[in-house]
Structure 1
Amino acid sequence: MTEVAEKRTDLPWGEITDETIAHAAELLGTTLRRDRMGGWVTEVNVDAIKHFAQGLGDRNPLWRDPEYGKSTRWGTMLAPPTILYSVDGTTVAPRLAGVQWLYVGTDWVWYDVVRRGDVYDAPATFVKQEVKGGEFASRWLIQTGHIRYLRKPDGFMVGEAFGKCARTPRGAALKKDGKQKYKAREAYEYTSEELAAIERALIDEMPRGADTLYAEDVEVGEVLRPTVKGPLTSTDMIAWYAGWSGAAPYGGAHGDAVRYRTRHQDYHVSEKTGAKDSAGRGHLEKKTGEDVGMGGAYDIGPQRISWGVHMLTDWMGDEGFLHTLSASVKRPNLIGDTTTWHGTVTGKDVVDGYHLISIDMHADNQRGETNATATATVLLPSKVDGPVVTPVPRNLTSK
């Protein structure tokens, strides 16, 4: 079933009610239009790969140097696995006009590497809606979409993702409904020693590259080298937007944005001026971030998840293959914060000649608060069974 446009002018704006919940639920099972959330990248060309990697600060030569890839077993330049976020952002949050959507996680499965020159279709289906409740809002929702990344022309599914978004009250509605969960807070003041340690960690980042990591050489309990991102700046955010989506998720820029808001009731209303603008400003502007309940200007869920993947791909090297990732965003990461991803090997298995490495991951900020968690399955080459063969079977982790 494909989406049929239906405007309802009788529904309350910015409120979660029985009617607005039911109106959104009408779209369950529907393949949605993706004019905003999909299509920033349709062809994974050199520029798309480099821009995405630069937006992560990931210097892996597999996705920075077109010539390097030719010397690897892949024979071509590859892209970071989560570049698929730029093909479709995995945000499926239909209807509920004026209700904030916050990205809370993705369950990923990859069956093949993403290669230079790949061209994709990415149909997205609204598959689940859960009504929640809690201390800070009497009702809120989690909406889940299923996105399939189909490589042209053969239609092979290189990856699939279940993207999850929370739908929560904004601003005055949130404060009226309960206490504000994330209150505005002042920027963290780093010591010179803290800043020096962050800088050293960033300088010392080193992808494994051609130094092959074999499954037999990995031990349960092994700790991965952490990946540090921060202190987060508006420049970092702009670099991410350049590789991920531009302003498309918010209706575009200039006249495109105004025209979008005349067609859709998807906007934030300034408490001071009454002007309508994108709630996406909360990622760059402190006041809007406070209005939507995040405590200040904050990062983007797929961005933070991709930082965790940066840690994994640095660790696994050119011969490794990221097969699954289940990641959850737990709390806001504000501009000025520093996020450090950690990983530990928790299991090893062999299935049909594939060597599976299980990894538990978490991300902490400079205050010691956990702001994201994840589990991953990495496939590594074997000294006995040879390299990882792709495409990977669909049911590998369920055996």
Structure 2
Amino acid sequence: MTTTDIADTQVFRFRDEDIARTKDLIGVYHAVTQREHFTRATPDVMRAFARSYGDDNPLFVDEEYGKKTRWGGQIAPPMINIALKKELAADPIPKEQRRPSFRGIHVFVSGTTTHWYRPVTDGDVLYSFRGIETVEEKQSEFAGRSVIVTHLHAQFNQRAEIVQTQRVITIHTERHESKKRSKYGSVEAASYTEEDIARIDEVYSAERPGGADPRWFEDVAVGESLGTMAKGPLTTTDVVVFHSGGYGFAPYTPSASRLAYKNRRRIAAFYVPDEAGIPDVAQRIHWDSAYAKSIGLPAAYDYGMMRDCWLSHYLTDWVGDDGWLVSMSSQMRRFNYLGDTHMITGEVTGTRVQDGMYLAEVELRGTSQRGEVTCPATATVSLPSQVCGSAVLPAAPRELEEIAARMMQRHLELIPG
């Protein structure tokens, strides 16, 4: 049986009752009872996660460096929430409030909006609750019938303080429809000469991670460039390293040997036979180009969250040690295939003072070697000011902290001892 024949046998369609039940759950929040790869922030965890997407900012990777900064110690990179979370003890979710699984349906992250309120430091534990905010059905040129769902994920620490919130837009598409993506099969694979690599290396050599010199609000001008950051060429190694830093395990938990067998028993639809008939995770679409081609794509591609990490890396390098990333809203408009190279660029679009914060608005983007902007984004950063010194952090939403407090109280009531 050929790879194409295997793909033809994997036909998964939406069930109308699953879509209706998803809409019924808008505004209902539940404790996240599943852990991520890491559960406690340590110097090693923070360093490993930062390095997984190419970030060598000493504030994130050097245990000693942070002691000399406003933070008093090493802090975690902004996107640490995708790798760090401890399970919450909670009462069972009533059957009518359980989310449908959409098993066998392809899921693509198309965009996120994240707000940051507090740093994550050595010893912190993150917990989370989540809920559905919006559900939209549509017919798309990309994959026929699809369902677009916006999920709110709120992360809080062991003191029930909201650390960050993240709204994730996911596009769910029927697997059989993916073969209609013939236009993506015409994408030319990237190739490089020694001169091409040398030009990319020139960008890398000019980059400077973070820094102790304050970027004063008073010195920032509208139209100012944030510089250029290189990411790529994307390799399978990049994807593997991103996983080793902690991303991509929950809720699917790609596993090995006996653990893989147990996982296959738990979520059989997540395992799709390869060309040799061996069941393997559908998640391999991010490193197995043969599988990607079997569903109409020219090659394996990255994770949307990887590009969010890149964008946050670009911003934290620019704001320096005393600044703070307040929020970022990104879109994943096109695939980033193995072999692609992105240049991250941006500029200041506005400045303002609000709630004691000295803010700069930024537009940024990742542009591939094809000249395609695959990940446009906007962000707000809080900068140090000569009026008040270090950047002021925003206040977390009170209603979310109240939910966190209730969930933490119940967690403590339920856990042994």
Match of 2:19 in 1: 21
Residue 144 (structure 1) aligned with residue 142 (structure 2): no
Distance of 2:165 and 2:296 partners within structure 1: 30
Query: Which residue, out of 229, 241, 253, partners 1:251?
Result: 253
2:66 paired with 1:69: yes
Q: Is 1:112–2:105 an aligned residue pair? A: no
Where does residue 281 of structure 1 map in the other structure? 284
The normalised TM-score by structure 2 is 0.84
Match of 2:93 in 1: none
Are the counterparts in 2 of residues 327 and 375 from structure 1 also a CA contact under 8 Å?
yes
Contact 1:319 1:381 in 2 (8 A): yes
Deviation at 1:244, TM superposition (A): 2.6
Q: Does the 8 Å contact 1:97/1:265 carry over to 2?
A: no
**The residue matched to 2:71 in structure 1 has which SS?**
coil
Q: 1:257 to 1:303 in 2, by over 3 A?
A: same
**2 CA distance for matches of 1:97 and 1:32?**
20
Q: Which of 173, 181, 184 is the aligned partner of 1:182?
A: 184
Correspondence for 2:174 among 169, 172, 187 = 169
- Note the alpha carbon deviations across 1:314-356, whole angstroms, 9 max, x for none: 1110000000000111111011110111111000000132101
Match of 2:241 among 239, 242, 252: 239
Contact 1:93–1:101 under 8 Å retained in 2? no
Task: Give the secondary structure class of the aligned counterpart of 1:341.
Answer: strand
Q: Distance in 2 between matches of 1:198 and 1:283?
A: 23
Of structures 1 and 2, the one with the larger relative CO (CA 8 A, separation 6+) is 2
Relative to structure 2, which stretch is displaced further, 256-265 or 187-196? 256-265
Report 1:1-399 matches (<5 A): 14-25=12-23, 27-31=25-29, 34=32, 38-87=35-84, 94-152=100-158, 154-170=159-175, 172-175=176-179, 178-183=180-185, 185-245=187-247, 247-254=249-256, 255-270=258-273, 272-273=275-276, 275-390=278-393, 392=395, 394=397
**Residues in 2 aligned to 1:129 and 1:192: alpha-carbon distance in whole angstroms:** 48
Question: How well do the aligned residues superpose, as a CA RMSD in angstroms?
Answer: 2.5
For residues 33-85 of structure 1, give each alpha carbon's deviation from its aligned partner in whole angstroms, at most 9, with x where no partner exists.
7566x422221111110101111211111011111100011111111111112
- Report the identity percentage: 37
In structure 1, stretches of 5+ residues that fail to align are 1-11
Give the C-alpha shift of residue 131 in structure 1: 0.7
Q: Distance in 2 between matches of 1:83 and 1:20?
A: 31
Structure with bigger helix share is 2
Change in Cα spacing, 1:32 to 1:336, as seen in structure 2 (3 Å) is farther
1:184 is displaced (CA, Å) by: 6.2
Query: Could you tell me how far 1:208 is from its partner in structure 2?
Result: 3.6
Unaligned runs of 5+ in 2: 1-9, 87-97, 399-417
For the 8 Å contact 2:264–2:270, the answer to whether it is kept is yes
**Distance in 2 (alpha carbons) for counterparts of 1:327 and 1:13:** 31
Shift of 1:358: 0.2
CA distance in 1, matches of 2:396, 2:181: 48
Equivalent residue for 1:6? none
Corresponding letter in the other structure for 2:178: L
Q: CA deviation at 1:25?
A: 4.0
| Aligned equivalents of 2:387, 2:376: Cα separation in 1 | 33
The 8 Å contact of residues 144 and 177 in structure 2, kept in 1 or not, is answered as no
Q: Distance in 2 between matches of 1:179 and 1:294?
A: 7
Conservation of the 8 A alpha-carbon contact between 2:327 and 2:379: yes
Moved more, 209-218 or 26-35: 26-35
Distance 2:344 2:38 in 1: 27
